[in-house]
Amino acid sequence: MERVLFIAQSTGCQLFLSITASSNPICFFLLLYLVILLFHAVLLCSSLWIKTSAFLLVSTGLFGAYFICLMAELTGPRVYSCCNCRNNISLHDDVISKSFQGRNGRAFLFSHAMNVVIGPREDRQLMTGLHTVADIHCGDCNEVLGWKYLRAYEPSQKYKEGKFILEKSKIVKENW
């Protein structure tokens, strides 16, 4: 008989699984395949993103020792950060559009932003009409990152209200 010890660990939970199987190599590798599927299911249900899979399976028995090691790296969600201080500003999942224009080139429209300071409101004539906006600054280094749409005067632009423009040149990708 062979024993397989499987450990999966993610934020806030650990899974320990000990399985006993016959010493038949075909049964062992079938069992290994099932454990790999279980491992992926555990990680997919957690709040982590999978870059690769990490675990170590060790089995000893009549057919010698099997060591299977798959190296991995687990990371958090993909985020955009301030280009100056790397302060997290928004999640990749919050991107609504990447086809906007900022003051200094391309910009992205986000549904949410975090760790920012919202400046005073002002009416600004933009390419799509008159809007009431407020510049947003990084909460750590005070870099101007873009603006928040507070009010859109054109009915076709109302969807922008409460959304954030982050200039591509002012943010960097993290955990990609």
What is the pTM for the complete model shown? 0.59
Query: Is residue 22 within 8 Å of residue 4, measured between CB atoms?
Result: no
**pLDDT value for 81:** 95
User: Tokens standing for 124?
Assistant: 């600004």
Task: Provide the CB-side half-sphere exposure for 161 (13 A, CA).
Answer: 11
**pLDDT value for 58:** 42
- Rg (C-alpha) for the chain, rounded Å, is 25
**pLDDT value for 56:** 41
**pLDDT value for 77:** 85
Nearest in space to 5 (alpha carbons), one of 41, 40, 35, 38: 35
Nearest in space to 172 (alpha carbons), one of 79, 55, 44: 79
Measured between alpha carbons, how far is residue 158 from residues 10, 136, 139, 164 in Å? Answer: 41, 19, 27, 13
Q: From CA 10, how far away is CA 54, in angstroms rounded?
A: 11
**pLDDT value for 69:** 37
What does each of the 176 residues of the chain score in pLDDT, given as a tens digit? 444 444 444 444 444 445 454 556 666 666 666 666 655 555 444 444 433 334 444 444 444 444 333 333 334 689 999 999 999 999 999 999 999 999 999 999 999 999 999 999 999 999 999 999 999 999 999 999 999 999 999 999 999 999 999 999 999 998 87
Residue 127, phi then psi, degrees to nearest 5: -60, -30
| Cα 68–chain centre separation | 28
Q: From CA 56, how far away is CA 33, in angstroms rounded?
A: 13
Tokens 């919050």 locate to 94
